[in-house]
Each structure stands twice: as C-alpha cells, then as structure tokens.
C-alpha cells in the first residue's frame, strides 16, 4: 500500500530540485510566455490594424466555417458585425486552442523526464531505491512532482492568455469575448489528461535512459500527434469543438488508466537498478 506521507516528501524534494535546475525549468516558462502573452498581443494588434486584409486572406476559412451546421460558433459568427471581429474570435477561441495542449505537454515532459534520470545524474537513485519505500510510492511521487508544475503552468498560462486576449482585443469587441464554452473541456479534462499521458510515458523513458538529453529527445516524439491535431484544426478537417474535446479527453483518460496499470506492473527495483547500470 502506498505511503501518502512518503509520496508528498519525495514529490516536494523533486520540485525543489526542479527549481534549482535551469535546464529543467527554463523550457517550462519560455513556451508558455510566448503562447500566453506574446502571441495573443500580436494577433490582437494585427486584427486591430488590418483594414480587411486579414479577413480577405482568411476568407477561405470564414467560408468553410459558415458551411458548418447550426452551432454556437455559427450563431456567434453571424452575430458579429465585422470580418475583423470574426477573424479575432476564431483565432482566439478556436485556432489557438491546440497551442494550449502543447503547454502542458511540454511542461509535463520536461519535468517528468528528469524524474529518474535526474536521480541517476545526481547519483541519488541507488539511495532512493535502497530506502524502505515501496516502488509504487516512488513512482506516484515522481508523477505527482511532474503533474503539479505542469498543471500550474498550464492554468496560469490560460489566465494570462485570457487577460491579454480580452484587454488587447477590447477595441474590436468592447466586451469580454474570451473564453468560449469549448475551453471548458479543454482546460478541465484534456489538459490534465495530456499532462498525465506525457508524464507516464516520460517517467517510463526516464527510468530507462542514462541522461536527461536522451530522455528529452525521446519524449519529444509525443509532440507529433499534437502537430497532427494542429494541422487538422487549421485546415478545417477537425474543429476542436466541445464534443470533439470531450471525446479526446475521454480517450486520453482511458489510455492513461491502461498505461498506468502497465507501467506499475513493469516497474520494480531490479529493473531500475539494471537501467542505472547502463
């Protein structure tokens, strides 16, 4: 049975080591700052400064969205007065949402890769494995130490994005227009599920590799499915509305559960000692 006090103690120790390692925490802040602060400011000023140019360039997307069946998006677009407003609304509420899957994915991957391989590089893994702590508690602590920062960074990024979007696009709408309801399943379900999925994969990778760089390079493969989602979003092949986001969240939750059971059965002290020797 897992020891809750031990899990918290190990997780607290790992979080402290993360804050002391610039190689780990710097990537966690660079990408969120760009996507949650700089990008919305650029998009807002571009929409405000345009005189129909952006609308003409994105007319194909507007035409595509107008062909969609009756939905909240269709009704909102019809209620907006100018193409500038429509473009800004689509960009902030729909086309930029996949970027907020990248933030928890990158944050969770960066921290979780350091979970076991960081112990190897610091020479502390053997002491941890010899401690009178069950392996399930060690694994749970490593996952928790990655999950909390990833979710914290993601939520702060979402708040910053919303503030920047509404403040800098205010002259276009004269009201708060962000977020749309589709952000609810994205923030409350998909982002935590993506974070946990990345953590489980990367903790497993971290237990097998011998250096942080090797683990980070292998973990980068997780970005590829996200790139496919982003392409589908921007081409109109798959619009991330509430139903699709709920479906993605449920599928990811099922995968998380199956992966967790698989990894817990696989992890043991001898396996981790063997990986340390490599």
Phi and psi for 3 in degrees, rounded to 5? -95, 110
Whether the link from the prior residue into 152 is cis, omega within 30° of 0, is: no
Most confident region among 8-12, 40-44, 269-273 by mean pLDDT: 40-44
Count Cβ atoms below 10 Å from residue 221 Cβ, excluding itself.
11
**pLDDT at residue number 98:** 82
Question: What is d(CA 175, CA 229) in angstroms, rounded to the nearest whole number?
Answer: 30
Long-range contact set of residues 257-264: C-beta below 8 Å, sequence gap at least 24: 259/197, 259/200, 259/201, 260/200, 263/139, 263/200, 263/203, 263/204, 264/136, 264/139
**pLDDT at residue number 96:** 83
Question: What is d(CA 174, CA 233) in angstroms, rounded to the nearest whole number?
Answer: 27
Q: How many residues in total does the chain contain?
A: 278
**pLDDT at residue number 223:** 66
**pLDDT at residue number 67:** 58
Better pLDDT: 251 or 200: 251
Count Cβ atoms below 10 Å from residue 74 Cβ, excluding itself.
14
**pLDDT at residue number 118:** 65
Q: What percent of the chain has pLDDT over 90?
A: 13
- Return the SS3 of 131: coil
Least confident of 41-45, 48-52, 145-149, 192-196: 48-52
Report the candidate in 1, 275, 17, 28 with the shortest Cα–Cα distance to residue 145: 17
**pLDDT at residue number 157:** 92
Report the candidate in 94, 146, 82, 88 with the shortest Cα–Cα distance to residue 116: 146
For range 10-27, the mean pLDDT? 74
What is the residue whose two structure tokens read 């974070």?
A: 195
Q: CB of 98 within 8 A of CB of 230?
A: yes
**Parent domain of 66:** 4-276
pLDDT tens sequence across 176-202? 999 988 899 999 999 999 888 888 887
pLDDT tens sequence across 48-75? 776 655 555 556 666 666 655 556 677 7
Confidence band for 272, pLDDT divided at 50, 70 and 90: low
**pLDDT at residue number 250:** 92
Asked whether residue 270 carries a pLDDT value surpassing 70, the answer given is no
For range 261-271, the mean pLDDT? 71
The full DSSP string for 171-224 is HHHSS-----TTHHHIIIIIHHHHHHHHHHHHHHHHHH-SSHHHHHHHHGGGHH
Question: What is d(CA 147, CA 194) in angstroms, rounded to the nearest whole number?
Answer: 10
Query: In the numeric block, which tokens belong to residue 60?
Result: 């194909």
For range 211-233, the mean pLDDT? 60
**pLDDT at residue number 162:** 94
For range 122-135, the mean pLDDT? 69
Query: In the numeric block, which tokens belong to residue 94?
Result: 């729909």
The full DSSP string for 36-66 is IIIHHHHHHHHHHH-SSHHHHHTHHHHHHHH
- pTM > 0.85: yes or no: no
Better pLDDT: 233 or 103: 103
Q: CB of 44 within 8 A of CB of 88?
A: yes
Query: In the numeric block, which tokens belong to residue 6?
Result: 């031990």
Q: How many domains does the chain have?
A: 1
Q: CB of 60 within 8 A of CB of 68?
A: no
């Amino acid at each position: 049975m897992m020891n809750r006090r031990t899990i918290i103690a190990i997780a607290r120790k790992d979080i402290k080591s993360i804050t002391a390692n610039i190689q780990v925490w710097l990537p966690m802040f660079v990408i969120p700052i760009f996507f949650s602060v700089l990008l919305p400011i650029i998009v807002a000023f571009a929409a405000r400064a345009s005189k129909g140019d952006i609308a003409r360039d994105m007319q194909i997307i507007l035409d595509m969205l107008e062909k969609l069946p009756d939905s909240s998006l269709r009704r909102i677009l019809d209620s907006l007065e100018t193409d500038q407003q429509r473009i800004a609304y689509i960009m902030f509420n729909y086309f930029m949402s996949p970027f907020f899957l990248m933030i928890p994915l990158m944050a969770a991957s960066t921290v979780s890769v350091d979970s076991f391989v960081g112990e190897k590089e610091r020479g502390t893994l053997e002491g941890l494995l010899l401690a009178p702590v069950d392996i399930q508690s060690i694994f749970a602590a490593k996952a928790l130490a990655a999950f909390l920062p990833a979710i914290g960074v993601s939520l702060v990024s979402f708040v910053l994005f919303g503030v920047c979007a509404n403040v800098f696009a205010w002259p276009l709408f004269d009201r708060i227009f962000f977020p749309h309801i589709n952000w609810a399943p994205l923030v409350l379900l998909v982002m935590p599920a993506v974070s946990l999925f990345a953590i489980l994969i990367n903790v497993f990778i971290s237990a097998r590799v011998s250096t942080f760089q090797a683990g980070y390079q292998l973990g980068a493969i997780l970005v590829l499915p996200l790139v496919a989602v982003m392409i589908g979003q921007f081409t109109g092949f798959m619009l991330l509305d509430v139903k699709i986001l709920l479906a993605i969240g449920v599928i990811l939750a099922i995968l998380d559960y199956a992966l967790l059971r698989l990894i817990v059965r696989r992890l043991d002290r001898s396996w981790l000692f063997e990986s340390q020797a490599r």
